[in-house]
Amino acid sequence: MEALKRTSERHLSTDLRARQKILALQESIKRAQQGASESEQQGSEMNREAGETIERCVEREGEYGRIKGEAEKAKKEREEVVEKGRRKVESLKTEVSGLVGKLERLGARKEKLDGSALKELDKNVRDVEEEIEKLEQAEAAKAEIQREDKPVLVWPPPPRKMTTGSTTTVEPVGAGRPRKPASMQI
């Protein structure tokens, strides 16, 4: 019995150790299962968050693409407006330079015409004044001769007025009249 007792004591300690190991293993399995379920929960939560993040990312990419398209469109429109403005400025510069040249030419022409036209008009006025003076002198001489009761031959004879109906015409000097007598020719 004692041998049985010793054998049973020997086995009892091994049995106790085996039971402790089994209990420890069961506890480890329980903790592993809890950890696995927690990991699964965290994984599903992370998957859900990852899905939401991906959806937000897709939305943001779409919004970015839309905003980028609008920005490019606005940039093109701005460039077109700038180009139109530049072309208009160039056109106006060309027009202004043409008008400046024309103004300079007209100014030079005006100065030329003012100088020559005034001189010409002054000459014409002097000629008319001289002619008027000569006519006045001839009239004065004619009046003086008529006072002396002598017939006067005036050359060139004054133009004749001819009235036909409602129109009056002046016949040019010497038209239809005899030539000046040879004694009066100079």
How distant, in Å, are the alpha carbons of 41, 72, 100, 147, 167 from that of 65?
36, 10, 51, 116, 91
pTM exceeds 0.95 for this model:
no
Among 176, 133, 139, 174, residue whose Cα is nearest residue 157: 174
Per-residue pLDDT of the chain (186 residues; tens, 9 = 90+): 777 777 777 777 777 888 899 999 999 999 999 999 999 999 899 999 999 999 999 999 999 999 999 999 999 999 999 999 999 999 999 999 999 999 898 888 877 776 777 778 888 889 999 999 999 888 888 877 777 655 555 566 566 666 665 565 655 555 555 555 555 444
- In this prediction, residue 185 carries a pLDDT of 47
For 157, residues 6+ apart whose C-beta sits below 8 A from its C-beta are: 173, 174, 177
Phi, psi angle pair for 120, to nearest 5°: -65, -45
- In this prediction, residue 25 carries a pLDDT of 93
> Which ranges in the chain belong to alpha helices (H)?
2-147
For the beta carbon of residue 159, count every other beta carbon within 10 angstroms. Answer: 13
Tokens of 163: 């009235």
